[in-house]
Amino acid sequence: MTRRISGLGEIIEEFDGILIDQFGVLHDGKAVFAEALPCLRKVAEINMPVVTITNSGRMKEPNRQRLNRFGFTEDLIGEVITSGMVARARITEMLAAGDLAPGDRVLNLTRENDTTVLDGLGLVPSDDPGDAIRLVLISGLKPEEVSRASYRDMLGPLAKAGVPAICANPDHVVYADGKAAFGPGRVAQDYEEDGGSVTYAGKPGPEIFRRSLAVLGDPDPGRVLMIGDSHHHDIAGAAAIGCRTLLIAGGVQALSSADGVLPDYSLETLRF
């Protein structure tokens, strides 16, 4: 049964570390939520380690820079683990196994032309689905400009041709221009329905949680609190590896399906 709390301070002494989602919990991509910074400052005062675990299709550094701009500096959030980092590890494995080769073209679906997941691997990012594509990387979308149906029309021939895909951001709902919109995870689902094979990197998969716990020093997961706004990605994913969970009920993803897994705690918005 979920226990509603009025602030993180009610339960903080039960934990040795915190994993925290980014979008919908700390900010919406453009603005910080009002009580998030004061909350993490209180957490820092008691020397509680905090790791951001985010379904961002980018690598650590772009996310670190954005968090710093918002005021979530290293003294508040010690480390950043992204689904883009997990995706890059998978691509590296594909190169080592010969499933990809240097010079192969990757259809790079992203925002702001970000290529950080692919940088230095010898692959060629492309935005042309007719460009002899060997891999589809679904990192970020532009739902304010391109409809889900248009993405499906573009990617359908690649799915039917058996081109593998990696979804480097499995979120079903994202913020775009401050509004809720369909996320890369939905486009990846369409790709599968059209016959394509998709590897999902990030929450709710266990690899991103294992990486995050390792940064905390591999504590007892039962002494780690996962704070997020998605039942599917944050709550179910963390519960599967033994973490306790706090749902931010006012987040953009909180109204989606609970997937049969209830959070241990709920809070309308992040506050101490």
**Quick one: pLDDT band at residue 258, thresholds 50, 70, 90?**
low
CB atoms within 10 A of CB 65: 11
> For residue range 209-245, what is the model confidence (pLDDT) as tens digits?
999 999 999 999 999 999 999 999 999 999 999 999 9
Q: Is the pLDDT of residue 163 over 70?
A: yes
Whole-number percent of the chain with pLDDT over 90: 89
79 or 179, higher pLDDT: 79
Q: Is the pLDDT of residue 253 over 80?
A: no
Give every CB contact of residue 58 below 8 A, 6+ residues apart in sequence: 82, 84, 110, 114, 116, 117, 139, 140
For residue 202, what are its two tokens?
């990030």
Among residues 184, 200, 216, which one ends one of the domains? 200
Question: Are 222 and 243 spatial neighbours (Cβ–Cβ below 8 Å)?
Answer: yes
**Virtual CA dihedral for 134, 138, 139, 141, nearest 10 degrees?**
130
Inside any domain, residue 137: yes
Supply the mean pLDDT for the chain.
94
In terms of domains, do 126 and 188 share one? yes
Q: Is the pLDDT of residue 251 over 90?
A: no
Q: Is the pLDDT of residue 260 over 90?
A: no
In terms of domains, do 148 and 192 share one? yes
Domain total of the chain = 2
Q: Which domain holds residue 111?
A: 86-200
> For residue range 185-206, what is the model confidence (pLDDT) as tens digits?
999 999 999 999 999 999 999 9
What's this model's pTM, rounded to 2 decimal places? 0.91
Q: How many helices (H) and strands (E) does the chain have?
A: 7, 14
* Amino acid at position 2, single letter: T
Inside any domain, residue 18: yes
In terms of domains, do 93 and 124 share one? yes
Query: Which pLDDT score, from 0 to 100, does residue 29 have?
Result: 85
In terms of domains, do 194 and 215 share one? no
Query: Which pLDDT score, from 0 to 100, does residue 255 have?
Result: 53
Q: How far apart are CA 186 and CA 167, in angstroms?
A: 10
